[in-house]
Amino acid sequence: MKQFSLTDDLGILHKFDAIPQRIISLVPSQTELLVDLGLESKIVGITKFCVHPENLRKHKTIVGGTKKVDYDKIKALNPDIIICNKEENTLEIVENLRKITTVWVTNVITIEDNQKMISDFGNLFGCVAEAGNWNQKITLALNDFKQFIENKPIQKVAYFIWKNPYMVAGSNTFINELLQLNRFENVYANQSRYPEVDIENSNEDVDFVFLSSEPYPFKEKDVLEMTHFCPETKIFLVDGEMFSWHGSRLLKALNYFKELHQRL
**CA–CA gap between residue 182 and residue 260 (Å, rounded):** 10
**CA–CA gap between residue 80 and residue 21 (Å, rounded):** 6
pLDDT tens sequence across 95-123? 999 999 999 999 999 999 999 999 999 99
pLDDT band at 2 (very low <50, low <70, confident <90, very high): confident
Nearest to 174 by CA among 250, 68, 239, 258: 250
Task: Give the CATH fold of the 152-263 domain.
Answer: Rossmann fold (3.40.50)
Tell me what percent of the residues of the chain surpass a pLDDT of 90.
91
Question: What is the helix, strand, coil percentage profile of the chain, to 5?
Answer: 40, 20, 40
SS3 65: coil
pLDDT band at 32 (very low <50, low <70, confident <90, very high): very high
pLDDT tens sequence across 214-262? 999 999 999 999 988 888 899 999 999 999 999 999 999 999 999 999 9
* pTM confidence score: 0.94
* Cα dihedral 139, 144, 147, 149 sign: negative
Q: What is the residue extent of each domain of the chain?
A: 4-140, 152-263
Check whether 1 has a pLDDT greater than 80.
no
Angle, vertex CA 34, rays to CA 28 and CA 36, nearest 5: 105
**pLDDT score recorded for residue 199:** 82
Residues sharing a CB contact under 8 Å with residue 228, sequence separation 6 or more, in sequence order: none
CATH classification of 4-140, choosing from 3.40.50.970, 3.40.50.1980, 3.40.50.880, 1.10.3720.10?
3.40.50.1980
**pLDDT score recorded for residue 203:** 65
SS3 89: coil
* Element spanning 83, H or E: strand 81-85
Mean pLDDT (whole number) for 28-35: 98
**CA–CA gap between residue 105 and residue 84 (Å, rounded):** 5
Do 4-140 and 152-263 have matching folds?
Answer: yes
Q: What's the one-letter identity of residue 123?
A: N
pLDDT tens sequence across 139-178? 999 999 999 999 999 999 999 999 999 999 999 999 999 9
SS3 126: coil
**pLDDT score recorded for residue 251:** 98
Q: What's the one-letter identity of residue 240?
A: G
In sequence order, what are the beta bridge partners of 25? 83
Contact 100, 77 (CB under 8 A): no
pLDDT tens sequence across 167-219? 999 999 999 999 999 999 999 999 999 999 988 777 678 999 999 999 999 99
**CA–CA gap between residue 262 and residue 153 (Å, rounded):** 13
**CA–CA gap between residue 245 and residue 206 (Å, rounded):** 25
